[in-house]
């Protein structure tokens, strides 16, 4: 696989893995409230640490699996086809499940509840990322592409870094915005939080359905 091909395959999946209203709402809950800004930012950092730990575990698992699969050599790739078809079907099921659930599910309530301390924020980050199936389903084929690409180590490390950063984008972007823009940024995040909460089910379902089509199409092309 060429470097250009890797990035073409990787970036759409990485961006999809980063579209997570649930994780965004969890981070906004840390940054919006009556507490002092420093307390909110420390709590936000603990939440970011929790989600990052889970993504690093995903990266390790994805890399470990990829080392035990044959390298991608171009042409038909039955391994990639099976992985992507299975994950595409899983995302289709996730989309249907999202559309059938109630608007106020327990995970959404947990995300909006905030945390009373650093340990609670850390555990909330770990929990919400661990149950974030949509991101995981898109993260896995991206990690397989990196691990099986056969490209030099620096290129693969850069790809892993980009994949992890984009997957974590809804968690690290809000505190960066707050640090750069202060109270104005907090007001914008509050408005964003209200909008995301109102449309969370539609966003989740659309992302799952859209990337289900992408993965199914890529799986068929790899046969």
Residues 43-65 have pLDDT tens digits of: 999 999 999 999 999 999 988 88
As to burial, measured by CB atoms within 10 angstroms (0-12 exposed, 13-18 middle, 19+ buried), residue 170 is buried
Contacts of 43 (CB under 8 A, 6+ apart): 30, 35, 114, 115, 117, 118, 121
Note the pTM of the prediction, 2 decimals: 0.83
What distance in Å separates the CA atoms of residue 170 and residue 190, rounded to the nearest whole number?
Answer: 14
Span 163-217, pLDDT tens digits = 999 999 999 999 998 888 877 777 888 888 888 878 778 887 888 888 888 888 8
Instruction: Calculate mean pLDDT across residues 59-72.
Output: 81
For residue 185, give both structure tokens.
Answer: 């940024």
Q: Which of 55, 51, 1 is closest to 22 using CA atoms?
A: 51
Instruction: Calculate mean pLDDT across residues 87-112.
Output: 70
* pLDDT the model gives residue 139: 92
Q: How many domains does the chain have?
A: 1
Q: Give me the phi and psi of 195, to 5 degrees please.
A: -65, -45
- 3-state percent breakdown (helix, strand, coil) of the chain, nearest 5: 80, 0, 20
pLDDT band at 111 (very low <50, low <70, confident <90, very high): low
The C-alpha angle 166, 18, 143, rounded to 5 degrees, equals 65
- Where would I find the H helices in 18-105? 21-31, 37-67, 78-100
Question: Above pLDDT 90, what percent of the chain?
Answer: 26
Q: How far is CA 7 from CA 38, 99, 151, 203, in A?
A: 38, 32, 12, 25
> Residue 145 belongs to what domain range?
3-222
Q: Which residue shows structure tokens 């299975």? A: 86
75: pLDDT strictly greater than 80 = no
């Amino acid at each position: 696989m060429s470097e250009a091909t890797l990035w073409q395959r990787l970036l759409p999946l990485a961006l999809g893995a980063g579209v997570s209203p649930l994780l965004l709402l969890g981070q906004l809950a840390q940054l919006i409230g009556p507490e002092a800004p420093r307390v909110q930012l420390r709590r936000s950092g603990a939440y970011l640490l929790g989600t990052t730990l889970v993504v690093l575990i995903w990266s390790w698992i994805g890399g470990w699996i990829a080392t035990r699969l044959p390298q991608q050599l171009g042409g038909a790739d039955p391994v990639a086809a099976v992985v992507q078809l299975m994950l595409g079907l899983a995302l289709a099921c996730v989309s249907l499940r999202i559309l059938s659930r109630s608007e106020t599910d327990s995970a959404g309530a947990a995300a909006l509840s905030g945390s009373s301390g650093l340990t609670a924020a850390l555990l909330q980050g770990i929990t919400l990322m661990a149950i974030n199936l949509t991101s995981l389903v898109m993260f896995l084929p991206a990690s397989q592409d990196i691990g099986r690409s056969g490209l030099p180590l620096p290129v693969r490390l850069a790809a892993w870094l980009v994949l992890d950063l984009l997957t974590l984008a809804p968690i690290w972007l809000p505190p960066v915005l707050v640090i750069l823009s202060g109270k104005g940024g907090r007001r914008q995040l509050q408005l964003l939080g209200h909008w995301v909460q109102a449309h969370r089910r539609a966003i989740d379902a659309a992302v799952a359905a859209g990337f289900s089509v992408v993965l199914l199409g890529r799986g068929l092309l790899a046969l």
